[in-house]
Chain A
Amino acid sequence: MDITFDQVSYIYQPRTPFEHRALNNISLHIPEGSFVAIIGHTGSGKSTLIQHLNGLLRPTEGEVTIGPFTMTQGKKLKEMKELRSKVGVVFQYPEHQLFEETVRKDIAFGPLNFGVSKEDAAKRVNAAASSVGISHELLERSPFELSGGQMRRAAIAGVLATKPEVYVLDEPTAGLDPKGQIEIMDMFKQIHQQEKVTTILVTHSMEDALKYADYIMILNQGEKYLEGTPEEVFQEEARIQDVQLRLPESIRFLKQFNEKFETNLSLEYQSVSSIAKNVQAVLGGYHE
C-alpha cells in the first residue's frame, strides 16, 4: 500500500490558549515495500505523524491516503477496522498495552479482533512468538510475570500476529539492552525483506536509520526538514547538526577518512569489518 500525505497539518486543541500546531503542511510519499526512517528530536511531530497512518488522528488540513483509504478533516472513514488491520503500529513502550491473563491470549487479541479464525490465530501466535524469541513455556504465563525485555517482545508479537501490510515502529527498541535492540531490529528487517511489507521506523538513532532504512526523512518543528537516501542525507552534515542531530559514527569516520586520504569510500551502510577492509585496501598491505 502506498502512503501519501498531501499538505497535511494537524492542530491540537484548536482555538484555545493551548492551540498547538504539531504538523505543518507536510507532503510526503512512501511507496509500497520501502523501509523509511523518520527522524527528529522530541516535539518534532513524529508521533503525531504516525498516528495519522492508522486513523487515530485525522488531519486538520490536507489529505492522507493509505492504499485505498483516504482521510480528510470532514470525512469519517467507514472501513477504520480494515485500515487498522492492514497497518500494524508498535507504539513506544508497547508493553504498557498488555492486559490478558496469559501471553498467548494477549498475542491472539489483535488477530481475533480483526476476525481471524481461532485455529488461524493460534498458528499465528506460535509463529509470532518464535519470531520474537518467546519460548513455549512463557506463552502460558501471565504477561505481568515476564521481565521488561520479554514483555516488550510479547507486545511486539501481538502486532506481528495481525500480519499487517504496513509496519509502523515508534522507537521499538528504546530501553532494551544492546543485544535485544539488534535482535528486534534485525527481525523487523527480515520481515521487511521476506514479506515485502512497507516499514516506517520512527527513531532518534541515526545509526539505526543508516543500517536499516533505504530512505530517511527528518522532521523539525512539525515540518519536513530533509529527506533522501541515507547517502544523500548524510552529505548535509551542517544542516543535520542545526537540528541537534548527529551523523552516525561510521559515517563521520568515513567522511574524515575520505578527506584525509582523498579517497572516495561509499557512505552507504557497511559493517565494521567491511569498513576495515576498505580502509586496509587504501592504506595498502598494512598487516598486523
Chain B
Amino acid sequence: MSNYMIVGQYVPGTSFIHRLDPRAKLLIIFFYVIFVFFANNVWSYALLTLFVLVTIISTFIPLRFIAKGLLPVWFLILFTFLLHLFLTKEGPAVFELGTFSIHLGGIQMGLVIALRFLLLILMTSLLTLTTTPIEITDAIESLLHPLKKVKFPVHELALMMSISLRFIPTLMQETDKISKAQASRGVDYRTGKLKERLKAIIPLLVPLFVSAFKRAEDLALAMEARGYQGGEGRTKLRLLQFGIRDYIAFTLFILVIITLFIVRN
C-alpha cells in the first residue's frame, strides 16, 4: 500500500524516546497538551517549539518521513490559518481591497493557532510513532487501574482497545486484497458516476464484513483455547517499571514547564 498517512503508525527503534516507559510518555503528553494552551507570547511558543524539535530529533525518525506523513494534517493547518487570516478583523489593516481586508490581528491569530495545532499534532504523533499499540494499551490499563475501585471495566476496555488497534493493519490489508480482487473482475473505483462508484463499494464491503466476523469468531475461540478468562488474576509478561530514564524525562519536562511559566506574560 502506498499509504503516507503516519498517524497511528509505529516506527521501530531503540532511541531514548522509544525506550521510555509508555506511562511516562502518556503522562508527559497529557500534561504537555494542557500546557500548550498556557503559552501566550513569542518566547513561550519558541520554548515549546524547541522542546518538540529536540524530542523529534532524539527519536532518530527521519524528519522528512514525519513531514510527509503529516501531509493530510498540513492541509488542515493551512485551512485554519487562512480562516483566521480572512475572518479576524482586529488591529490595523495591512491590506485592503474593497470590502476585503487583512488585519494584523488576523495574521497573528492565524499563526498562533496554526503553530499550536502543529505542536499538538507533532507531539501526539510522536507517541504513536515510538510506542507500540500494545505498550499504549498497557499504559492506559495501568494508569486507569485506580478506577477499578468504582467497578469501571478497565481491563476489558484495554483489551478492546488493543484488539481493535491490532486489527487495523489486518483490515487494511484485507481491504487492499479484496479491492484488488474485485478490480480484477472489472470493478472501477476511480472513474464513473458517483452512483456507480458508490455501488462499487458493495463488492468490497460484503466480503470485508464476512471476514471480519469470521476473524472475530476465530479470535474468540483461540483465546478460549488458551484459557483466557478475563483480567482476574492475570499476570503480565512485561511489567511496566519506571527507571532512571523516565525520571530524567520527567525532570526535563518539569524544567521546561517551569521555564514556560517564567517566560510567559
| A contact set with B: CB distance below 8 Å | 12-13, 15-17, 51, 54, 56, 81, 84-85, 87-89, 91, 94, 96-99, 109-110, 113-114, 144, 158-159, 162
Contact = CB atoms under 8 A, between A and B. Distances in A.
Interface stretch (B42-50, B202-210, B220-228): B202-210
Interface stretch (B32-40, B61-69, B243-251): B61-69
A158 B184 contact: no
Nearest to A161: B185
13 contacts: A12-B2, A15-B68, A17-B65, A84-B183, A89-B184, A96-B174, A96-B207, A96-B211, A97-B207, A99-B203, A99-B207, A99-B210, A114-B186
A91 B184 CA distance: 10
Contact of B185 (A15, A16, A158): A158
A94 B186 CA distance: 15
Interface residues of B, number: 28
A56 B176 CA distance: 11
Contacts of A98: 207
B203 A94 contact: no
**B61, B180, B184, B188 — most chain A CB neighbours (10 Å):** B184
Q: Is the interface of B mostly helix, strand, loop or mixed?
A: helix
A113 B186 contact: yes
A15 B2 CA distance: 11
B207 A54 contact: no
B3 to A, nearest CB: 8
Interface string B178-205: 1011111111100000000000001100
Across the A-B interface, the 10 shortest Cβ-Cβ residue pairs:
A113-B186, A99-B206, A110-B185, A97-B181, A89-B184, A114-B186, A99-B203, A56-B180, A91-B181, A99-B207
A109 B199 CA distance: 13
**A84, A89, A96, A162 — most chain B CB neighbours (10 Å):** A96
A22 B142 CA distance: 41
Contacts of B27: none
A254 to B, nearest CB: 39
B180 A17 contact: no
B186 A162 contact: yes
Contact of A99 (B3, B65, B184, B202): B202
B177 interface: yes
A197 B183 CA distance: 21
B196 to A, nearest CB: 11
Contacts of A99: 202-203, 206-207, 210
Nearest to A55: B183
B11 interface: yes
A96 B186 contact: no
A96 B177 CA distance: 9
Given A17-B61, A56-B184, A87-B184, 10 more contacts: A15-B64, A16-B65, A81-B188, A84-B184, A84-B186, A85-B186, A97-B207, A99-B206, A99-B207, A113-B186
A51 B104 CA distance: 55
B180 A91 contact: yes
A81 B200 CA distance: 14
A91 B185 contact: no
Given A99-B203, A109-B185, A144 B2 contact: no
A97 B202 CA distance: 11
A97 B183 contact: no
Nearest to B3: A13
Contacts of A16: 4, 65, 68
Contacts of B4: 16
Nearest to A96: B207
Given A96-B207, A97-B207, A51 B181 contact: no
B180 to A, nearest CB: 5
Contacts of B183: 56, 84
**A12, A84, A158 — most chain B CB neighbours (10 Å):** A84
Contacts of A87: 184
B77 to A, nearest CB: 21
Nearest to B174: A96
Nearest to B211: A96
Interface string B61-84: 110110010000000000000000
Given A99-B202, A99-B203, A81 B186 contact: yes
A16 B68 CA distance: 9
A120 B202 CA distance: 24
Nearest to B181: A97
Nearest to A93: B177
A56 B188 CA distance: 12
A154 to B, nearest CB: 13
A110 B61 CA distance: 45
Contacts of A56: 180, 183-184
